[in-house]
Amino acid sequence: MLRLLGGADLSIARLFEGHVNAIALVCRYGTPSQAERLAEDVAGGALSAVWGADDASGLKVVGDGAHTRLEGRKILASGAGFVTRPLVAAKSGDRQFMFLLRLATDHPVDLGGWTAQGMRSSATGTVELTGTSVGEAEAIGGADDFTRQPFFSGGAWRFCAAHLGAMERLVELYRDHLNSRGRGDDPYQLQRVAGCVAAVRTARFWVEEAARRFGDDEAGGEAIVGFANMTRMVTERCALDVIEAVQRGVGLAAFIRPSPLERIGRDLSTYLRQPAPDRAMSEAARAWLQSRTAVGEF
Ligand SMILES: Cc1cc2nc3c(=O)[nH]c(=O)nc-3n(C[C@H](O)[C@H](O)[C@H](O)COP(=O)(O)OP(=O)(O)OC[C@H]3O[C@@H](n4cnc5c(N)ncnc54)[C@H](O)[C@@H]3O)c2cc1C
């Protein structure tokens, strides 16, 4: 699903990814009645999301008992203005907690700062949450469940799947372009086409295996996290190679609206920017160095 949505529209894929991530977290760490209430809202059309990113002050839990509330805001929150059941991460001291909120449809959001090159229609913005009451009903799981492994890093396969779908679409549009212009016999174009097909297929093998491990109860936590981190690195490299090859192979037409090549290139370049890619790559390398696993089994 994520791959197919990524091929159609990466902003929709981003919203869907956040929605299913929130539902998975509520199912994993929430109570059955919290999951049921969310399911009812979703059946009624509500959209969820995971809003984790913070500004320098961060979102905090303040007060206690019946007066516990949030102080601060969330930044880079996708679906701002559309999502009514977001799952937010907030700090109490140095521990992090999750709260599943219920926002009014007219809850104020600020999309003014979302001037990114791509992913414009993901409605990624800032949401002020100061004063929002939170209690047992909203709290999902316990301290630091949000970043509990292997689920936190292992779930990276989901955005990689969306990126993969966009890559596939770029390469198919490149084929259409070459065939319609009668440029498919050119050896340089053929070399680029071969590289693109190999890059897309490589990414797909990695993403499928990362997803398979994530869903495999027998797979060890380290194997899931290490593989997901490597998958991030491979998918990003493949996507950057595909974007470059398609833009060089199509030329200026790939930069002119309303060509889908223009939109997908812009959206994919933006959405590829995920948190701490260097750390993901180096942690995977370190995990393998410190293991005795045969490289072909890592
Ligand atoms: C379209 C879109 C929608 C999004 N929606 C949401 C959302 O709904 N909810 C949400 O929580 N977030 C969302 N985000 C934010 C996303 O999860 C990441 O926080 C964001 O994309 C991080 O990008 P960055 O390039 O600034 O990352 P960084 O982690 O700042 O990485 C930038 C560079 O700095 C390096 N780096 C990182 N840390 C260090 C360090 N300590 N020292 C030195 N170098 C470092 C990295 O390896 C990389 O090279 C969204 C992002 C996008 C693009």
- Residue among 152, 173, 193 nearest 262 (CA): 173
Write the residue with the smallest CA distance to atom 3 of ligand 1.
78
- Ligand 1 atom nearest 122 alpha carbon: 1
Question: Are residues 84 and 16 both part of a single domain?
Answer: yes
Question: Are residues 36 and 133 both part of a single domain?
Answer: yes
Question: Are residues 136 and 194 both part of a single domain?
Answer: no
Domain extent for 73: 10-140
Distance (Å, whole) CA 70 – CA 61: 5
Q: Which of 90, 118, 140 is the last residue of a domain?
A: 140
> pLDDT value at position 66?
80
Residue 5 lies in a domain: no
Question: Are residues 156 and 196 both part of a single domain?
Answer: yes
String of DSSP letters for 51-74:
E----SS--EEES-GGG-EEESEE
Question: Are residues 171 and 278 both part of a single domain?
Answer: yes
Q: What is the arithmetic mean of pLDDT over 18-28?
A: 98
- Ligand 1 atom nearest 275 alpha carbon: 29
Q: Note the pTM of the prediction, 2 decimals.
A: 0.97
Examine the pLDDT at 64 and tell me if it is beyond 90: no
Question: What total number of domains does the chain contain?
Answer: 2
Would you call 225 helix, strand, or coil by DSSP?
A: helix
CATH number at residue 271: 1.20.140.10
Question: Are residues 219 and 124 both part of a single domain?
Answer: no
Question: Are residues 113 and 204 both part of a single domain?
Answer: no
Question: Are residues 93 and 116 both part of a single domain?
Answer: yes
Question: Are residues 84 and 134 both part of a single domain?
Answer: yes
117-146: pLDDT as tens digits: 999 999 999 999 999 999 999 999 999 999
Q: To 5 degrees, how large is the angle CA 13–CA 91–CA 127? A: 45
233 CA distance to ligand 1 middle (Å):
14
Residue 146 lies in a domain: no
Please tell me if the CB atom of residue 124 comes closer than 6 angstroms to any atom of ligand 1: yes
Examine the pLDDT at 50 and tell me if it is beyond 90: yes
> pLDDT value at position 254?
98
Please tell me if the CB atom of residue 4 comes closer than 6 angstroms to any atom of ligand 1: no
CATH number at residue 19: 2.40.110.10
Residue 3 lies in a domain: no
Confidence band, pLDDT 50/70/90 cuts, at residue 235: very high
Question: Are residues 193 and 111 both part of a single domain?
Answer: no
Question: Are residues 172 and 122 both part of a single domain?
Answer: no
Question: Are residues 191 and 233 both part of a single domain?
Answer: yes
Residue 29 lies in a domain: yes
